[in-house]
Every structure is written in structure tokens, then in C-alpha cells.
Structure 1
Amino acid sequence: LTIITLVFMFYIPEPPKAEPKKLAAKPQVQLLQQPVIRETLVYIAVAQMVILLIQPILSLYVAELSHGDGNIMFLSGVAFSLVGVASAITAPSWGRFGQEHGFYKALCAATLLSGLMSTLVALPRTLLLFCVCNFCYGLCCAGIQPSLSAVLASNTTTDQRGRVFGFMFSAQQFGSMVGPLLGGAIATYAPLQSLFVVAGVILFAISVSVWLRHGHEQNIIA
């Protein structure tokens, strides 16, 4: 974080500030009054919650699959990082797909495929197959957050972008708070692999909701 701060301070020039506008707080109220903005923020919070749902039990689940052999913490780190590696590989492709076909369609496809892969992650009983499925899950979920960000950007004016991405960050942090808490609560009373099924069902629900409400919209950013 310190390095990032120094880079921003010394290597990234700040664009010229626009003239201050009167009633600067008014657009912020209008922003939250837009149904599409509120709905997208809810999707963002829920998607982030799903991503972090398995975080509390991952080490326990890896230990269960590996039967306690090997460095459990290292293996857990590898298993968790595979999602990030896979997401980094396919994120540009998801962005290109959304640009060409519409970000609502990209969001539907990403959540549908992620829901399917999350459910399949619960099936393997060996660590290797679990890691393979987790990697495939990362390939799919890479399209969720970029599509949601693009929907927000396409429904706001330039002078509102800073506010709307601030709201997006707040929604993500709310999801980050609820996800581990919910995951820990479910794992207390249900088998560990049930968390992957719960995550899959939630992602399926998001996909169906988005398709029913916005499946006909292009929502392409020029």
C-alpha cells in the first residue's frame, strides 16, 4: 500500500480540477434514486459475499481433502490463489465479450457459469481435482465484477463516476463482511462442501434475475 501511494504521488499526474459546482451533494442523492444503480450495487455486494463465502473454511476443507498431509496453509494458499490466477487470464476476454454483446449478457453468462462451476467444486474428493475445479471457477467468475462496474459506468455521467465507484467500493466491503460471517455460520451446521453449493445457487439466482430484468438490453459502452 505504501508503494502504491508513492507511485500515485510521484508518477501519476492529477488531472486539472473542474470548477466547483453549486449544490455538489445533489447529484449524489439523485444517483441513489436511480433503480438501476441501487440494483447493481446490490448485485455487487452479493457477488462479493459469494466470492468470500468459502474463505473461513478453505484451510479446513483442504486439510480434509489432503487427509492432513503436507503443508496445509501453503496448499490452502495455492488453492485460493488459483481463482485469482484464472481470473487474471480471462478478465480481458470477458471485458471484450461485454463490449461487443452487452455487459448484462456478460454478467448473465459469468454468473451462470460460475454458479455451475461452484456447484461442481463441491464434488471432487481429491485435492488435485478440487484445485482444477477451483481454477475453472476462476475462469468464469472473472466476468462478474468487470461487468457490474461497466453497468455502473454506462448509467452515470462523467461527473458522477467518482461517487458511483465510491458506492461500489462500499457495497464490496459490505459483501466482504457478510460473506465470511455467513460462510462460517453455514459451516457450523452443515458439511463444508455445502458452502460451494450455496454459492452456486446464489450465483444462479443472480443470473436469472439479471436475465429476466435486463436480458434484452445491450448496455454497451462506446
Structure 2
Amino acid sequence: MKMWKRNLIVCWFGMFITNIGMSQIAPVLPLYIRHLGVHNSALVEEFSGIAFGITFIISAIFSPIWGQAADKFGRKPMLLRASLGMGIVIFSMGFASNVYVLIGLRLLQGVITGYSTACTTLIATQTDKEHAGFALGTLSTASIAGSLLGPTIGGFIEEVFGTQNVFYITGMLLIIVFIATMIFVKEKFVRSNEKISTTKEVWNSVPEKSLTITVLVTFFILTLALYSIEPIMTEYVSKISTNNNHVALMAGIVFSASGLANIIAAPKLGKISDKIGPHKVILVALIIAGLVFIPQAFVKNPWQLMFLRFLLGLASGGLTPSVNILVKKITPNAITGRIFGFSMSAGYLGVFGGSVLGGQVSAHLGIRYVFFITSALLIVNAVWVYFKVYKKLNLKSI
């Protein structure tokens, strides 16, 4: 088997598991916090929000730092560091003695993370140009699918095996990722002689600054859109259901529908990006995703919502790989890891921002306005991409 294919298989599995590790705690947090001795409902909600969000905020800060380390020392060492570290930390959460220890471990998890950044950089730099779109498209499914399916998987493990076993099982899976990475991932790493250390020097080395900013903002808006519905999904499904049995399970399935569609669409759209240009796929996908959000506000039952979420996943499946392909094309190899680190930071901030946006808009304006506002953000982003990316790259290709 070719080296890039073997690396892709291991990285896909690793990114899928690490992103499950980031998100699977959402449905079990309130239960685990009560288990740790907090019984006041308001405090449980407050601690749940802090414990969930702090990992993504800290990850956003540290992703560029680990990206720089990947450029300096190689991507495989970063994969080993992140998988082993996260495995130990998540496993340790099952032994937390109180809620403050749990929050501290969630914070430490955010510091240690960086597997996705190193994987994306490894695949982008070690895969030949002919297969780059397919490889990055396939890899992007692991990140989004892991994040979107994580809450459902976490809820299932909690129901079948118990709350603490969510952490033990996820931790052991990450140890398996560490072993698989150590044995199977191969890297021909050549350290660049360029002395680029500070953020200012990195930014000065970016040849396409305007394009880079637009791409990073687009990735932020995409993840924000995907996660804006997460905090209100259960409540929304409950409102549109005629039968309130198994609402939590149905909400998890509806939320995960976009992840399933993403797995189907991303590799194929990645190939299309290679043929017609990633800027064209990004523009079309943003427009479709923005339009698909609008009818979600008017659905009458969970099955209609599930279908529309599936369509959203098909559209968004073209965005992440196309963003990564574009980043690779416009970024010098010496700083690829750091720019992908900034891209991951934008994604983590989008997850956190989407959760906050969905909750706040729903609380103050109503659930349906979450879909309208998210749609508007995607359409405005599409207009910006048209003028800043599409027209510029089309002129260059002419």
C-alpha cells in the first residue's frame, strides 16, 4: 500500500476518535457533574457549559503553537504526543473527585490537543498533487463526523455501560490511536531552513494574505453554522414531535445526519475541487448551505428536519476539503503547519461560537430565528467569497 494511503487510513481513524473525545462529553456532562456531588440545577448547567466550552477555547489558542512545533520537529511526533496525552487525560476524567478536577482536566485536554492539525498538515504535505483533494476530502470527514457523532456515541456508551465508562472507553481508544500511529504512520520530514518563529514573521511569509483571511473566516462560519443548532436540538425536536418518547435519541440522530452526509460527500467533492478549483466548490456549497437552513425553521416533524440536515451535510462536505486544498495551494511548505493550526483554531472557535449563538438567539428571539440568522451569515459569507476569492482566482486562471 502506498505511504499516503496508509497515512490517510491511520489519520482518519485517529482524527475520528480524537474529535469524538472532544465532543462526546456533551450529553453526559450534566449526569457526571451530578455524580460528582453538584445537585443544584442552575450550578449543573453552569458547570456543564464551562466544562464543555473550555476545551475548545484552549484548543483554539494552542493549535497554532502545535502547528509551529509540527513545522519544526515533524508531524508524526505531534501525532504521538497528542494521541497519548489525550488518551491519558480523558481516561483520568473517569477518576475525577469533584467538578473542579473535571474542569481542570478538560482544560488540560485543550492544551494537549493538536492531532487534527498535525494530521491535516501531514496529509497535505506528504500526498501527491493528483490525490490531494481526495485525501484531504476524506480526512475532513473524520473531523466533522467525529464531532457531530460524538454526542450520540457518548450518550450511547453512557446508557449501556455507565457514565464513567464513557471516559475509560474513549481514553483506551486514543491509546490504540497512539499505537497505530507509532507503527503505521510514515513521514519523510525535511525541516525547512527558514527562520520563522514569531506570529508576525509567519504572517509576513503568507503570500496571499487576503485569501488566507477569507478562508479562515469561512471555516469559522461553517463550523458555527453546523453547531448553532446543537444547544437547541433536543428542545426543537420535542416541539415538532407528536410523540415525546425517545426525544433525546431522535435529537442525536437528527444532529448526526449532517455528519453522515458529510462522510458521503466530502471525498467526492474533494476530487471535484481538484478538477474545477476549490474556490468554485466553496462558493456553491456556501450558497446551498445558506438556503437549506431556511426551511429548517418551518419543519413539521423530526423526519423533515433530518432530511434537511442531511442536505446540509452534503453541502458542507464540499467546504472543509476545499478550504484545506486552498490553504495548501496558497501557503509555503515552511509554514503549512502553522496556517493549518490557525484554521483549526477557527474551527474550534466556530464550535464554541455556534453553541453560544444558538442558545442566546433561541433564548431571546425564539428557536426559528437560529436558522434565519445562521442562513444570513452563510449567504453574506458567500458574497464575500465571491468578491475576495472566486473572482480573484478566476482572473488568475484566465
Mark yes or no: TM-score above 0.5: yes
In the alignment, the residues of structure 2 paired with residue 149 and residue 186 of structure 1 have an alpha-carbon distance, to the nearest angstrom, of: 30
Question: Counterpart amino acid of 1:21?
Answer: N
Residue by residue over 1:7-63, the C-alpha shift from the partner in whole angstroms, topping out at 9 and shown as x without a partner, is 112221243443x62523165232468222222212211221111111100111111
Q: Does 1:205 align with 2:380?
A: yes
Q: CA deviation at 1:6?
A: 2.1
In the alignment, the residues of structure 2 paired with residue 194 and residue 130 of structure 1 have an alpha-carbon distance, to the nearest angstrom, of: 15
Question: Counterpart amino acid of 1:24?
Answer: I
User: 1:99 and 1:129, CA in 2 relative to 1: closer, same or farther beyond 3 A?
Assistant: same
Structure 1 vs Structure 2: percent identity of aligned residues? Answer: 23
2:24: which partner in 1?
none
1:183: which partner in 2?
358
**Counterpart among 179, 191, 196 of residue 24 in structure 1:** 196
User: 1:43 and 1:16, CA in 2 relative to 1: closer, same or farther beyond 3 A?
Assistant: closer
Question: Counterpart amino acid of 2:176?
Answer: I
2:83: which partner in 1?
none
2:234: which partner in 1?
59
In the alignment, the residues of structure 2 paired with residue 154 and residue 32 of structure 1 have an alpha-carbon distance, to the nearest angstrom, of: 11
Residue by residue over 1:185-216, the C-alpha shift from the partner in whole angstroms, topping out at 9 and shown as x without a partner, is 10101221221121111111111111122223
**Counterpart among 334, 337, 341 of residue 162 in structure 1:** 337
Normalised TM-score (structure 1): 0.90
Which ranges of 4 or more aligned residues in structure 1 deviate by more than 3 Å? none
SS in structure 1 at match of 2:284: helix
Segment drifting more, 185-194 vs 209-218: 209-218
In the alignment, the residues of structure 1 paired with residue 253 and residue 189 of structure 2 have an alpha-carbon distance, to the nearest angstrom, of: 43
Contact 1:117 1:137 in 2 (8 A): yes
Question: Counterpart amino acid of 2:196?
Answer: A
Structure 2 segments unaligned to the other structure (5+ residues): 1-173
Structure 1 segments unaligned to the other structure (5+ residues): none
Q: CA deviation at 1:138?
A: 1.2
* Matched ranges for 1:129-168 at <5 A: 129-168=304-343
Bigger radius of gyration among the two = 2
In the alignment, the residues of structure 2 paired with residue 199 and residue 38 of structure 1 have an alpha-carbon distance, to the nearest angstrom, of: 20
Residue by residue over 1:160-195, the C-alpha shift from the partner in whole angstroms, topping out at 9 and shown as x without a partner, is 211111111111111112111111110101221221
Contact 1:101 1:218 in 2 (8 A): no
In the alignment, the residues of structure 2 paired with residue 167 and residue 213 of structure 1 have an alpha-carbon distance, to the nearest angstrom, of: 19
SS in structure 1 at match of 2:367: coil
Q: CA deviation at 1:219?
A: 9.9
User: 1:152 and 1:22, CA in 2 relative to 1: closer, same or farther beyond 3 A?
Assistant: closer
Contact 1:32 1:38 in 2 (8 A): no
Question: Counterpart amino acid of 2:269?
Answer: W
* Matched ranges for 1:1-222 at <5 A: 1-18=174-191, 21=193, 23-25=195-197, 27-31=201-205, 34-67=209-242, 69-216=244-391, 217-218=393-394
In the alignment, the residues of structure 2 paired with residue 181 and residue 193 of structure 1 have an alpha-carbon distance, to the nearest angstrom, of: 16
SS in structure 2 at match of 1:111: helix
Contact 1:103 1:219 in 2 (8 A): no
Contact 2:216 2:346 in 1 (8 A): yes
Residue by residue over 1:116-161, the C-alpha shift from the partner in whole angstroms, topping out at 9 and shown as x without a partner, is 1111222211111111111111111111111111111110122221
Query: 1 or 2, which has the higher helix percentage?
Result: 2
User: 1:219 and 1:185, CA in 2 relative to 1: closer, same or farther beyond 3 A?
Assistant: farther
CA RMSD between the two structures: 2.1
Question: Counterpart amino acid of 1:186?
Answer: V
In the alignment, the residues of structure 1 paired with residue 194 and residue 390 of structure 2 have an alpha-carbon distance, to the nearest angstrom, of: 38
SS in structure 2 at match of 1:152: helix
